[in-house]
Amino acid sequence: MKRNVRKPRTSVPVRRLLRTLTELYPGAFTSLNYTGPFQLLVATILSAQCTDTRVNKITPALFAKFPTPQSFAEADRKDIEKYVASTGFFRSKAKNIQLACQTIVSKFNGEVPGTLAELVQLAGVGRKTANVVLGDGFDTPGITVDTHVGRLSRRMGLAKETNPVKVERELMAIIPRKHWTTFSHRLILHGRAVCKSRKPRCEECAFLKVCPQIGVGEPVDEGTEETS
């Protein structure tokens, strides 16, 4: 008697994935507006649980008032809170930005450090924020695992883990280093445009024929989906 053998769930071929993402999203960069690593660091901290569009609306006035790490470090925190109030969790963000800037001034001579090990020493900075700053601020390749990258990586069979740090390591093992930064940006764009959390537009997806669609149709944790 012939047994039914379930075929393994396979991932999208990496070369095809990178080629197609490049064709679909040739402009691969953060949607945050910034000038230099310092502004990018602050904007990225503010972008947590907030859209990039909202952050871009408040940062011009914020950076006009506080143009340097030292100006943030010496400010009355309530003044910072007034400028970032509309980004959500503003007290925590204002605190982290000020503490990070105080560390930048006292430990790094007023300059944003350029390594992951140093960046994660700053208040409010985890690996995701650090990789954004490294990739776009210092042109140092890094994989940024936000909710979009984590979700798409699992759906496409590129990763199995749910912990962002573990997903990052899984992706680092299969994505060539030179593509790390642009891969993250393009996967985020694809997640926003097509491979949405609750209602993925699979019929319109360029990867329809090769994507295993792992988890599509399963319940979604609505508290984790990004809107930016």
Catalytic residue numbers?
128, 146
Helix runs in the chain, H state only: 14-24, 36-46, 52-65, 69-74, 77-84, 90-107, 116-119, 127-132, 147-155, 164-174, 180-193
Q: How far apart are CA 214 and CA 38, in angstroms?
A: 38
Instruction: Give Cβ neighbours of residue 66 (< 8 Å, ≥ 6 apart).
Output: 72, 75, 80, 83
